[in-house]
């Protein structure tokens, strides 16, 4: 299909979506097509979701879950190394064109193409957070930006297929109590940084991808640039884990490990399986790291203490797990726990007007650091999307698009009201609310495939 510009895009998307076809092509691949001067391959959404729940055994690394669960990372090392292999196997060799993976099946979340943060057309990367000065290293004196792409294994892909079985009426009840993602769901997400590599020592010998991204975080203009692998996250649905039913983990790139470019330079930061709701302190928060400050009081986070392997990193609030390009006053499980539809709460207590931000460590603050079981919504009146922000965001994007298109084919008489209710109340930035603004696109640049 050729690339179309401007208002024609909406009609094409309507045509694609209202067919309800079960084969590939039901959902658009990306929102930002690179210019015609680009001659390389284009991203394709892996969307042939399984029609039946896969019956294969659970991933082999499930047998490596520590028992009892421990905040000693070395007891987790075999598990994290096996999870990394599970994510990379068959994907690295195929430049993450997951449809070519002959080892196992992987799928993308639909409706990440829409909006100013939407998928670009080379590697399917979506725009994430801004990188603040000195967030990565003391020598980092300029800001940057982050892009990422997430994939779900066949067990997770089955659930996406259930939620989006009717492309015109996504149904999050498949992930909300009494339902949830099924055991064996694995999510992998490599993240890439657009930053001055000379300012970040651990990004030596980088893995580089081309991507069609904005010039800066605050810009709407896009160009083809190189971005560097900086982090890879994973999440695993496992009902044996008390309190949440999930394990989250993250890796940080360190090009000094092998002395050459490669995905083997991803070293573990740690794992998290709960939010440590009893820990209300703030002494281990470390926004501009010169060392990695490990909080020994946390019982549901395990951080890699090997300083020869892991470069200094800021972690999350009071030492909870987070990656180098994540928000240092949040945590992996904290923000993902808020995933719901409609999204009635922000991802972090600071993502509100200044007069609404609760005192750090207060009861109101700690709402974001409780433990919620899989499938339990964060807010009364919402349905859980079970720790999947991509699922929550995709549903919100879908209804916002309905509103922008005048509510075509919508059963409800008021598409815009529904879009308003479903719009994510979050900021994909670490800047204070007063500094965040909506990035607008010139309609003539809006290209949809």
Interval 64-91: pLDDT, tens = 999 999 999 999 999 999 999 999 999 9
Distance CA 296, CA 272 (A): 14
In this structure, what are the phi and psi dihedrals at residue 347, rounded to the nearest 5 degrees? -75, -20
C-alpha pair distances (Å), 310 with each of 187, 231, 284, 314, 320 = 23, 12, 17, 11, 16
101 prior amide bond cis, ω within 30: no
Give residue-wise pLDDT tens across range 84-93: 999 999 999 9
Distance CA 176, CA 387 (A): 10
Distance CA 356, CA 349 (A): 8
Listed residue (124, 98, 130) closest to 32, CA to CA: 124
**What is the DSSP pairing of strand 222-237 with strand 144-148?**
unpaired
The SS3 of residue 218 is coil
pLDDT at 406: 56
Spans of the chain below 50 pLDDT: 1-24, 407-413, 424-449
Distance CA 393, CA 401 (A): 12
Listed residue (231, 275, 272, 270) closest to 254, CA to CA: 231
Distance CA 338, CA 429 (A): 16
Enclosing domain of residue 404: 4-448
Residue 301 contacts residue 321 (beta carbons within 8 Å): yes
pLDDT at 410: 42
* Count of CA atoms in the C-beta half-sphere (13 A) of 368: 26
pLDDT at 370: 98
Instruction: Specify the residue for token string 């200094």.
Output: 312
Burial of 440 (0-12, 13-18, 19+ CB in 10 A): exposed
Number of domains in the chain: 1
């Amino acid at each position: 299909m050729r690339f179309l510009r401007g208002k024609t895009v909406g009609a094409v998307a309507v045509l694609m979506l209202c067919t309800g076809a079960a084969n590939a092509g039901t959902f658009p691949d990306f929102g930002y097509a690179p210019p015609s001067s680009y001659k390389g391959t284009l991203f394709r959404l892996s969307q042939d979701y399984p029609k039946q729940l896969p019956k294969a055994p659970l991933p082999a690394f499930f047998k490596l879950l520590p028992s009892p669960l421990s905040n000693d990372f070395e007891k987790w090392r075999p598990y994290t190394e096996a999870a990394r292999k599970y994510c990379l196997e068959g994907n690295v060799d195929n430049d993450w064109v997951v449809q070519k993976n002959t080892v196992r099946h992987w799928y993308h979340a639909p409706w990440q193409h829409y909006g100013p943060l939407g998928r670009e057309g080379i590697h399917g990367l979506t725009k994430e957070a801004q990188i603040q000065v000195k967030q990565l290293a003391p020598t980092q004196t300029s800001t940057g930006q982050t892009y990422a792409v997430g994939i779900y294994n066949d067990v997770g892909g089955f659930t996406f297929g259930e939620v989006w079985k009717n492309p015109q009426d996504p149904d999050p009840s498949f992930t909300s109590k009494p339902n949830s993602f099924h055991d064996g769901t694995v999510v992998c997400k490599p993240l890439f940084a657009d930053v001055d590599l000379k300012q970040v020592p651990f990004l030596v010998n980088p893995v580089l991808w081309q991507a069609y991204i904005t010039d800066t975080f605050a810009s709407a203009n896009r160009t083809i640039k190189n971005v560097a692998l900086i982090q890879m996250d994973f999440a695993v649905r496992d009902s044996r884990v008390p309190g949440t039913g999930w394990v989250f983990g993250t890796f940080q790139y360190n090009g000094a490990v092998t002395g050459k470019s490669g995905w083997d330079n991803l070293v573990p930061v740690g794992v998290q399986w709960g939010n440590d709701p009893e820990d209300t302190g703030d002494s281990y928060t470390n926004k501009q790291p010169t060392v990695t400050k490990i909080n020994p009081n946390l019982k549901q986070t395990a951080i890699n203490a090997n300083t020869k392997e892991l470069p200094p990193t800021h972690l999350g609030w009071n030492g909870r797990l987070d990656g180098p390009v994540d928000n240092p006053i949040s945590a992996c499980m904290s923000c993902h726990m808020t995933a719901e539809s409609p999204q009635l709460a922000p991802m972090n207590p600071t993502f509100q007007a200044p007069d609404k931000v609760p005192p750090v460590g207060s009861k109101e603050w700690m709402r974001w650091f409780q433990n919620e079981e899989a499938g339990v919504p964060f807010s009364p009146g919402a349905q859980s999307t079970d720790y999947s922000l991509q699922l929550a965001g995709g549903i919100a994007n879908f209804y916002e698009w309905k509103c922008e298109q005048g509510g075509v084919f919508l059963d409800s008489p008021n598409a815009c009201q529904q879009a308003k209710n479903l719009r994510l109340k979050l900021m994909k930035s670490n800047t204070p609310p007063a500094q965040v603004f909506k990035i607008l696109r010139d309609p003539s640049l809006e290209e949809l495939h």
